[in-house]
Chains A and B, each alone.
Chain A
Amino acid sequence: KQEVTQIPAALSVPEGENLVLNCSFTDSAIYNLQWFRQDPGKGLTSLLLIQSSQREQTSGRLNASLDKSSGRSTLYIAASQPGDSATYLCAVTQGGSEKLVFGKGTKLTVNP
C-alpha cells in the first residue's frame, strides 16, 4: 500500500528566504508525482507535475525534483513571499490508476 509522508508538518520562515519542502513515498513504482497548493478552506491548485521519467520540473520560483529510486521528491521555493503562505501537498499516482495518494501536507507561513 502506497504511503506518502511530508516533512516538516509546518514551517515558518522570514520573507525572502529560500526553502525546501520534502515528500517521500514507500512504493517507487509511481506513474507521476504532483505538487499542489491549498489555501485555507479552499480547493487544490496544481503547481507542478513530474512524470516518472523526469527528474525535475520548474515553474517560476518553484522547482520540484524527483528521485524515484529513493522514493523522494523536493519542492524548492526561491525568494519566498507572504503570498506563498499556504499548505503544500504532494501526491503520487501509480500505473493503471488515476487515484492520487496524498501526504498530509506542509503548512508554510512566510512572515513579512
Chain B
Amino acid sequence: DAGVTQSPTHLIKTRGQHVTLRCSPISGHKSVSWYQQVLGQGPQFIFQYYEKEERGRGNFPDRFSARQFPNYSSELNVNALLLGDSALYLCASSFDPYEQYFGPGTRLTVT
C-alpha cells in the first residue's frame, strides 16, 4: 500500500500570498492531522480531521484553515503568508486511535 502522500514537495511564496497544501492518507485511514515543523524544532500540531469534521486545533492564527474531503484527503490553507510561516508542513494519517503515519512533508519558503 502507498503511504501518506503530500503535494507539492517544495513551494516558494511571497509574503502576503496564499498557499494550499494537499495530503492523501493511507488507504482506509479516516483521520488526518497537520503539523508545522520549523528548523531545529519538533513538529507542532495544527489541525486534526476525522470523517470530515475538525477534531482538534492547535495554537495557530485564523490564517490557517483546513478541510477534509469525502475521500479523506485533506487540504491545509494559509492566508496572508508571513516570513515565519516558512517551515516543513507534515501530514499524518491514522486508522487505530493514535498511531500516526507521516508523509514526506511540504517545504514552504516565504520570501
Chain A residues within CB distance 8 Å of chain B: 4, 31-32, 34, 36, 41-46, 49, 89, 91, 93, 97-105
Contacts and interface: CB of A to CB of B under 8 A. Distances in A.
Contacts of A4: 42
Interface residues of B, number: 30
Contact of A99 (B50, B56, B99, B105): B56
A4 B35 CA distance: 16
A91 B31 contact: no
B28 interface: no
B105 A98 contact: no
A105 B88 CA distance: 15
Contacts of B44: 102
Given A4-B42, A91-B42, A98 B102 contact: no
